[in-house]
Structures are given as C-alpha cells and as structure tokens.
Structure 1
Amino acid sequence: MKKLPLLGGLTPQQFLQEYWHKKPLLIRQAIPGFKPLLAKEELVAMAARDDVESRLVTHFGSRWQLHKGPFAQLPPFHKKAWTTLIQGVNLHHDGANALMQQFRFIPDARLDDLMISYATDTGGVGPHFDSYDVFLLQAYGQRLWRIGPQKDLTLVEGLPVKILQNFKAEQEFLLEPGDMLYLPPHYAHDGIAVGECMTYSIGFRTPSFQELGEGFLQFMAESIELPGRYADPDLPVTSKPAEINNAMLSRVAETLRKIKFTDDDVAIFLGEYLSELKPTVFFDPPARSTSLSRFLQLADKRGVQLSRKTRMLYRGRHVFINGESFVAGGADRRPLVKLADRRQLAPEDVANASKDVRETLHAWHEDGWISLRKPG
C-alpha cells in the first residue's frame, strides 16, 4: 500500500506537537475515496472464530447488553441498534494490516491494533471515554460523533457497558467514508450510526503503571539472587511470642534492600512485555517444513517478511520478538534492526547476514513468525 496522506496536510511532527495527547482533530478525507477492506459478511465470519476477539453491544428497547464472542449468529442486518466490534483485524487480514502500518509514525511499542466496528442504524456503544489515543476512520456509511472534554467521568451504575452518566457534547461531526477523527485519552465521545456503517479504530497501548509494576516484579523474581537463610543466633527470650520483633524486621528489610535493578533490566522487561502477544494469537507454521539450505536458497532470492501477527522491537543490543529476547551485537544486530523497522528484509540483506542470523531466520520461518516474500 502506498503512503497515504492521513493527516490532512499536517506532517507527523506537526500532528504530534499540536494534537497528540492534547486535543481532537477532525480530518476530512484523510483517505480520499476509501472503501471498506472487508464486507460485513466477512466480519460476521470473523466474529464466529475463537481466535478472534469480538463483542456484541445491543441497545434494544432502551436496554444495554454486552456479549463476548465467538458468535454462532449475530442479529439480522435489518434490525436496528446493534454493534459488533472485531478486535485485532490487522492480525488476520493483509489489507487491514497494511492500513495499520500507515500509522507507524507512532512507535510500534505504542501501536496496538485495528478494530472494526460494524453497526446497524442507531447502533453504538453509548457515550464513553477511552484510556488511550484513537484514530476513528469512517470506512462505510455515516456515523455521527458527539465529543467533549468531559471532566465528570462518573459511569452509570449497573450497566454491562461503561457509559458516562453526565455526558455533555461540545461538538458534533458527521463522518463520511474516508473521514477520520483523532481523539486523545479520556476525551468523551459518542458515535451513533446513521444507517448501516463501519468504523475502523486504530488504537494505542497505554498500560497502567500498576500493570507495569506488577509485571516487572514478576520479571525480576526470575533473576534475583539472595543467598543465605534467615538466622538469629543472638535470639533473646521473649515475653511476647506472637510479636514480630525489631531484629527480625531489620534483618529482612536490610536483605530486601539489596535487590537492585538497572536500566538494562527495565529495557529487557519492557521489550518482552510489549512484544508479548495476546492469548488468542496463534501462529500457523508452514504446511511443509523447509530445510535450512532450501530456505536460505529461497530467502536469498526473495527476502523475508514478518508475519502480520509478529511483534518485533529492539533497544540497543537487545532484540525482542513475540515476548522473547536475546542479545545481538555488531553485524548480527544490523539486519535484525532493519527487519524490525521495515518488517521485511530484501534478498541482499538476507544473503549478507551472518550464519547465526540466517539460522535464526530459518527457525522463525518454521515457527510461522516470518515468511518468504512473495515473488514480484
């Protein structure tokens, strides 16, 4: 897919400086003449799969309901006021994946997925806010967006969906196919389908510090070493047998303070954490195994590319792929960094890579993490 304008004349740098994490931006005809990449029947088929995360939100008779997929059957298309949300479409469809790659002026460590929302007339998920930045691209039909910088984030109690209790819209926009709306985190919005419509949401990862902290402690638990065992050879007789005494508390605290971590520890944790895949993601290895020599023969002619599902990052000499990490220095690092940034390697890059890298590429190919580029 050729590079798209996307930002309505703004450069990525201007967008990041003026709007990112700060204020909304409506971009008329961000992608002129845009056509939906999947028909609604294809979305229904995806919603039936157990390796695809999907939800159904209905608002029949003024009653909100939420159901999680997979769905053997969805409501009929002629019935109003329902929405199906298909998460991670970029993992399963080349066109959706190519579209999401257009947003890589934002680092991969922040880019999450492309979700498709299909709604019948008046369908939506109610006024709400997201904790992450989002681009809302209208793919088909019309959707009316009502937005506002909501301060009161109180939710209606007792509902299966998170709906703002006191939503007040300050602006309204009717989006046509190709139009796109950017919203920063916690900016309240309510999207209502005007007739049948599809909206593509490009969302970003914003893990909470609590989540990161818990994950880091689990990560560090595998690497800390505290030799020895608690001992108290000078233990006095106690008149308070149930009390934890000061000496015990001090010794344990002193030992725990020996636990240290470095920037390298944080980098390795973050790379593994951010490249880790969701539990619903599975790879399809090649139907037939390819020997190392045959693979290299083909890769030297065609090059390789990352699978749609593969997440690959790097930091310094550390390379991360699908939750795993390893150190790559010198000549080994160059082709791997290029693969991560470009998500593909040209034939000459494969041919010039070291023996270790070439063997690693073969192993990833056998796991389904990379594939040979298509001829031509």
Structure 2
Amino acid sequence: MSPATPPTSAPPDLYGRERGDRMMRTLTVLGRLHTEAVARSGRRRARSGSPLAAAAPAGPLALVVRERVVEAEDVVSLRLTAPAGGRLPGWQPGAHLALRLPSGRQRHYSLCGDPEDRYTYRIAIRRLAAGGGGSIEMHDELPVGARLTTAGPRNAFPFAAEPAVLFLAGGIGITPILPMVRQAARAGLDWRLVHVGRTRASLPFGAELTELAGPGGRSAGRFEVRADDEVGLPDCAELLRRAPAGAAVYCCGPAPMLAGVRAAMAASPATGLHVERFAPAPVRDGRPFELRLRRSGIDLAVPADRPALDVLREAVPDTAYSCRQGFCGVCRVRVLAGEVEHRDLRLTDDERAEGTMLVCVSRAAEGERLDLDL
C-alpha cells in the first residue's frame, strides 16, 4: 500500500477525490475518532488494572475445537470455545484470530460467527494444497477436541456501519464480510453483497447470507452470487456499479481482485474503500533509519524492509495500531526531532507540520534519526 513516491499532502480520501457527500465525510471522521478512542482506552485499562483489564486474558488464550462443519468444496468451519465453556473476549465484525497450531505454525483466520455469541468463535478455512501447510493441518489434523492458542481477537478491518454499503467478497474472503452483513441487516442499513468465486459449490455460507438478505424478492437485490463458470471472470468496475451513491465499499478477496477494485474506484458511485489485509503491506523503497524513544532513552534500528511499527512494538508491546496501512490513525505518535517521510493517507498538512507520524507506514531518510515522545 505504501506508494513508491510518498504523497506530499494528505488527499481528502483514499483516492485523492473530493467526497461528494457531507454525511459520509462526517461519518469518516467519527469512525476514525471512535477507533482511536477504543484503542487508547484499551491501553489505559490494561495499564490501570481495572476490572475490564482483569477480565482479558493475561497470557495465551486456550481454545478447543467443538465442532467441524463442511461449508463448501474444500472449506470447513470450526467452532472454538474455551476449554471449560466460559465466556470469550468480545469482538466486532472484521476481527481475526492469530492462531498457534499444534505444529507451531501461526495462521490468521477471520471470525465469521456472531459477535453476540460470547461463548463461541467460528472460523472457516479453505484447503490450499499448494499453500504453506497451515490449511492442510487445519483440515486434516484438527479433530473435535483439538486445542489451539491465540492472543485473542484483533481487528485490522473494522466495520464503521455507514448508512449505505457495498460488500465485495472473493471466495473465502466472505469470512470477515459475513459478520458485517449480519450487523448491517440488524441495523437496517442500505447494503448489497456480491460474492464471487470459481463455482457456486466453492462458495460457503450461501444459505446464511440468503436468510440475512430477506425473504422472497428482496434477497435478489441484497445478495448476489457470481460464479466464474456461469458468467465469466468478474469485472471490478461492473461490480462497483452496484454501489449506492456515496456508499462505502468493503472488499476482501485475492490480491488481483483488491487491485482491480482499487483501480476502478475513481469511476464508481462509491466514496470510500476498506480492504482486508492481515499483514502489513511490503515496504517499498525503504531505507534504514533510527528511532529514539526520548522518554525511555531507547534507540531502535529500523531496517530497510521493515515497518517502524513492527520494530517499535518489539520494544513497546502495547503500542496501539489497527489498519497497518496508513488509514485509521490509531498508531500516531509525536515526533520531537527529525524529518519524517510521510507515507500515510490520513494526516493533514497541519498535523504533519505539528510533528505527528503514523508509524505503521511512514519512515525517514537513510541514516536519519526520529526522536519520538515515548
């Protein structure tokens, strides 16, 4: 996501276009403030030892596989609970679990159940024969009763519940989208969902989504399946034409789909795009630089190929972050000295001039040192 040439000013939205709807601008600002407030309050609770902090797991959270369900061709869902069946940490649509598998592998899986169910997590996994082995282990070596560990839910793809929403899901990319659809249906939002994939048989959760879309003819307008073997490969510009004017788009799927949607956004009726990314985007044109944590007196070396956030979190584990793509502003820090190479798409010129930096994507020139108010 980091551009080869850092932007010199913060565009009004992700694509540099003026937002045509004042309500959408207001919702975007409120969503950012809410996300930042939640992240910061979580850090305060964790430090204060409040009852909420005590309820959160102090270490790895143990989970047990309680149920396995075949959801589609090569897709199985797992229902996970606490070993003793107690309440689990809460989550919001878009959240995922970083699971430690019995083999020692760590894999990220979106939560695709119902956030109102505080006793069960549900994930779904597509079997990838040519993958890194994690999906095969999840399919073949995790029977009911198997145990996993996680640090708990984390959300890098939060749903802001805008009044008008277009959801685009590619294959197993439906997993973070499904809870968003459930929330949109409960809230009475103006929503549409298009689920694309190779075949209908390869796409999970069709019955649940049809039920959420509503009975009779209403479901045809809310929820659409486009299978490649029936209608050909999807055209992202054509998919985006389904967006209501001023809608937000939430998209999760394979990299070519995400790239196609980004490229087609400028000509679409939508005004904002949110995409899923578990891992940070690769650093492009990075150069090594240093961070000095002024209050703690710690110096940190940031290699050319790593984000400053990753290095900072090794020294300060409770550093807040969310999107890791330069959108949300949760990871902002104050820079006391040094010249920042801004790569975010959030901060205004005034915020940058006042010494604010988003450490998830922004950097410094080779050999430069940034003094942070930490």
TM range (shorter): under 0.3
Question: Which structure carries more relative contact order (alpha carbon 8 Å, separation 6+)?
Answer: 2
**Which one has a bigger Cα radius of gyration?**
1
Question: Normalising to structure 2: TM-score of the pair?
Answer: 0.23
